[in-house]
């Protein structure tokens, strides 16, 4: 599916874009003059209408002189002939100071690295990012555009995966300790190592009651990384599933964690909120289910087997063996139970989060 993205760029890029826009205007006005000349001397020319190809031939090399991308020059030529035909005119208006800045670019010449767009070796940072913009995403032919207030935007088509989820798909989610999210479909998603490491560092610092300044610094650093990761994960899940059931994360579970309660609370609250609004945006919903017993009951037979994880010692057990002989991943098993509990409570009216 192709979507057109429009993002406002930081104002610091205005001078370079203004410069390119002036050069674009020069090319446009040159095309206009050439077209005028062709029309006025049509008895000497084979054609009174200059095609885009003819204009490109006339402007070849202009890119070097004007410090523009060769395809920007060609883009101007193409747009000139398109506009002239659309407006059914012999030639068009001169582009000058009053014209809003415009710098076209061609497919594949702008890249995106997750933070900024790069065009001709120059990075252009947007003011906001969009979930659908993944690093390395394919960017088609588009343009930089200026609005009446002089602010610059990038307009470009991007190829995004189609959200063709079945409306009845549902998933249970175990928001595990230590940044592991387990899904009832068997998927386990672990947070990137980097921020898990800093989170552990933070937990240690907090326990050691180190200086607030140092803690704040690490806090800010990992908060960004964590949020970024959470946005990606929740967006993907919300796109895939119509109904999301999350556990209510019991206080006893938090007590067993090696992290400070505040760290966990913030993380879980953030995740739940993201699941909630992202699923609504995708036409789905998120509900909360009572997590009690979900980590100890087997999801296949619904029994409490003898080898079940129990108490603080139980947290070290990654697998749970059912009486029927099934060996289940502890977190995925919990996610399946959360889904089941969620679907049961749905009948009675579950709490939407
Ligand atoms: Zn079983």
Strands of the chain, DSSP E: 2-8, 102-105, 110-112, 117-119, 122-124, 142-146, 152-159, 170-175, 180-183, 188-190, 243-247, 285-289, 319-321, 327-329, 351-352
Distance 338 CA to ligand 1 centre (A): 16
CA distances from 177 to 27, 180, 185 (A): 60, 6, 19
Distance 342 CA to ligand 1 centre (A): 20
- Using an 8 Å Cβ cutoff, are 291 and 338 in contact? yes
Distance 320 CA to ligand 1 centre (A): 10
pLDDT on residue 166: 47
pLDDT in tens, the chain (353 residues): 566 778 889 999 999 999 999 999 999 999 999 999 988 887 776 678 999 999 999 999 999 999 999 999 999 999 999 999 999 999 999 999 889 999 999 999 999 998 999 999 999 999 888 777 888 888 999 999 998 888 999 999 887 665 555 456 899 998 875 567 899 999 988 877 666 677 777 777 777 766 777 777 777 777 777 778 888 889 999 988 988 999 887 666 666 666 665 656 566 677 888 888 888 777 788 888 888 888 888 888 888 877 555 554 455 667 888 888 888 888 899 999 999 988 887 655 545 55
- Label residue 132 exposed, middle or buried (CB < 10 Å: 0-12, 13-18, 19+): middle
Distance 322 CA to ligand 1 centre (A): 5
SS3 122: strand
pLDDT on residue 222: 72
The Cα 157–Cα 143 span in angstroms is 10
Q: What tokens appear for 176 in the block?
A: 């595990």
The Cα 153–Cα 150 span in angstroms is 10
Look at residues 319, 22, 286 and name the one whose alpha carbon lies nearest to residue 144: 22
pLDDT on residue 248: 80
Distance 348 CA to ligand 1 centre (A): 27
Distance 126 CA to ligand 1 centre (A): 52
DSSP letters, 128-164, are: S--TT--TT--B-SEEEEE-TTS-EEEEEEEE-----
Distance 162 CA to ligand 1 centre (A): 37
pLDDT on residue 27: 97
The Cα 282–Cα 130 span in angstroms is 15
pLDDT on residue 349: 52
CA distances from 170 to 165, 184, 190, 214 (A): 10, 9, 21, 42
Residue 187 dihedral angles phi and psi, to the nearest 5°: -75, 140
Distance 321 CA to ligand 1 centre (A): 8
- Using an 8 Å Cβ cutoff, are 260 and 219 in contact? no
Provide the residues around ligand 1 (an ion) whose CB is within 5 A: 298, 300-301, 322, 324, 326
pTM score: 0.49
Distance 39 CA to ligand 1 centre (A): 84
Residue 57 dihedral angles phi and psi, to the nearest 5°: -65, -40
């Amino acid at each position: 599916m192709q979507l057109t993205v429009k993002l406002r760029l930081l104002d610091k890029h205005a001078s370079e874009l203004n410069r390119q826009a002036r050069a674009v205007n020069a090319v446009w006005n040159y095309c206009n003059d050439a077209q005028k000349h062709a029309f006025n001397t049509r008895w000497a020319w084979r054609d009174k209408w200059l095609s885009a190809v003819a204009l490109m031939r006339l402007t070849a090399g202009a890119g070097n002189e004007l410090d523009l991308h060769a395809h920007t020059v060609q883009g101007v030529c193409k747009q000139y002939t398109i506009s002239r035909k659309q407006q059914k005119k012999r030639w068009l208006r001169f582009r000058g100071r009053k014209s809003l800045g415009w710098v076209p670019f061609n497919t594949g010449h702008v890249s995106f690295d997750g933070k900024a767009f790069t065009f001709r070796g120059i990075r252009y940072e947007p003011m906001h990012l969009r979930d659908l913009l993944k690093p390395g995403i394919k960017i088609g032919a588009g343009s930089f555009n200026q609005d009446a207030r002089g602010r610059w935007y990038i307009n470009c088509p991007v190829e995004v995966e189609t959200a063709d989820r079945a409306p009845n798909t549902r998933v249970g989610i175990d928001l595990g300790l230590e940044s592991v999210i387990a899904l009832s479909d068997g998927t386990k998603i672990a947070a990137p190592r980097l921020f898990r490491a800093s989170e552990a560092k933070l937990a240690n610092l907090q326990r050691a009651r180190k200086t607030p300044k140092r803690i704040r610094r690490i806090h800010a650093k990992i908060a960004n990384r964590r949020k970024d990761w959470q946005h990606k994960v929740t967006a993907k899940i919300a796109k895939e599933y119509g109904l999301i059931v999350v556990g209510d994360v019991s206080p006893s579970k938090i007590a067993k964690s090696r992290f400070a309660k505040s760290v966990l609370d913030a993380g879980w609250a953030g995740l739940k909120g993201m699941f909630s609004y992202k699923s609504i945006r995708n036409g789905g919903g998120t509900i909360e289910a009572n997590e009690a017993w979900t980590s100890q009951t087997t999801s296949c037979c619904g029994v409490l087997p003898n080898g079940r994880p129990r108490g603080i010692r139980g947290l070290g057990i990654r697998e749970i063996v059912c009486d029927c002989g099934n060996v289940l991943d502890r977190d995925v098993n919990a996610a399946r139970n959360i889904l089941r509990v969620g679907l049961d409570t749905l009948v009675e009216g579950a709490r939407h989060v």
